[in-house]
Amino acid sequence: MKFLLILSSLILGTIAIDQSFLEAARSKIKKKLVECIDEEHSSQSDLDEILALHVPASHEGKCAIFCTHKKFDLQHEDGSINQEGALETFEIIKEVDEEFYQKWVNVFNSCSSSKVLT
């Protein structure tokens, strides 16, 4: 469940790309997260924790993270990482910053059990 938190903080916190792109990405992530907060009946404090890049203590908050992962095709229903979906989701980064994208692929492959991303 921490994958989205780590990945979004890495993307949104460390790459030096166009500010409008970053704002659009933050907005899209937050929109999906708010949808999942509602779907999972999570609390405002869960949302606040997630936005502060912390894993919420409640079960519903953790389910909201998993829901968000599924909405971005980062995880399968069984909780396993959807490597192909993750690559497709983050393809837009490749268009904006090829070097960062390749670094992300290297980190992803280092942390994955099978290397399907190139």
d(CA 113, CA 21) in angstroms, rounded, equals 31
Asked if the structure places residue 7 within a domain, the reply is: no
Asked if the structure places residue 63 within a domain, the reply is: yes
Contact yes or no for 82/74 (Cβ under 8 A) = yes
Asked if the structure places residue 14 within a domain, the reply is: no
Number of domains making up the chain: 1
Asked if the structure places residue 15 within a domain, the reply is: no
Asked if the structure places residue 84 within a domain, the reply is: yes
| Residue 74 scores a pLDDT above 60 | yes
**Percentage of the chain surpassing pLDDT 70?**
79
pLDDT value at position 115? 47
Range of the domain at 74: 26-109
Contact yes or no for 66/82 (Cβ under 8 A) = no
Residue 103 — pLDDT band, cuts 50, 70, 90? confident
Asked if the structure places residue 8 within a domain, the reply is: no
Asked if the structure places residue 40 within a domain, the reply is: yes
Asked if the structure places residue 118 within a domain, the reply is: no
d(CA 108, CA 114) in angstroms, rounded, equals 10
